[in-house]
Amino acid sequence: MSSETPILIYKIASAASLAPSRHSGLYAGMPIDASDGYMHFSTASQLAETLRLHFKGQSDLVILAIRTADLATALVWEPSRNGQLFPHLYGGPLDMNAVEWEAIVSVDESGNCTLPEAVQ
C-alpha cells in the first residue's frame, strides 16, 4: 500500500488491555492479537464495520490513532474481510509513542456507535 498508505490507522482496545501500556509505554494488544500472532488495525473506512462486527455491546473501548510512518516495515497490509487490505503489525508490541490521539467509544447492542470526528 505504498503511496496509498493512510497517515493514520486505528486500533480498537479495551481499557483493561490498554492499562499496562500506561506505565510501560508498550501495548501488547487484545487477546485476538496474541492468538493470531500480529496486531489488528483498521483504516478509517473499515473502523465502523470492525466495531459493529466484533465489539457489539462494549462500552470500555478506546480507539488509538496510530501514525503509520512510525510503524515502518513492521506494518503489513493483508487481505481480510471481503478481500479488503487490513493493516497488521508484526514483530512485537505497539510503541505508544506512535499514538497520535485516543478517544473513548461505546458500541450498542446493535453494533451502532459514533466515531470521533478526528477519524479520517
Specify the CATH class of 8-105 in words: alpha beta
When the pLDDT of each residue in the chain is averaged and rounded to a whole number, the result is 93
The continuous run of DSSP H or E covering 24 comes out as: helix 21-24
User: Strand, helix or coil at 69?
Assistant: helix
The pLDDT, as a whole number, for residue 87 is: 97
Q: Which residues 6+ apart lie within 8 Å of 26 measured at CB?
A: 92, 93, 94, 95, 96
Residue % of the chain over a pLDDT of 70: 98
Q: What's the pLDDT at 3?
A: 53
CB 1 within 8 A of CB 85: yes
Q: For 74-92, how does the pLDDT look when each residue is reduced to its tens digit (9 = 90+)? A: 999 999 988 899 999 998 8
In this predicted structure, the answer to whether residue 58 has a pLDDT above a threshold of 50 is yes
> Residue ranges per domain, the chain?
8-105
Single out the residue of 49, 41, 45 nearest to residue 65, CA to CA.
41
pLDDT above 90 as % of the chain: 86
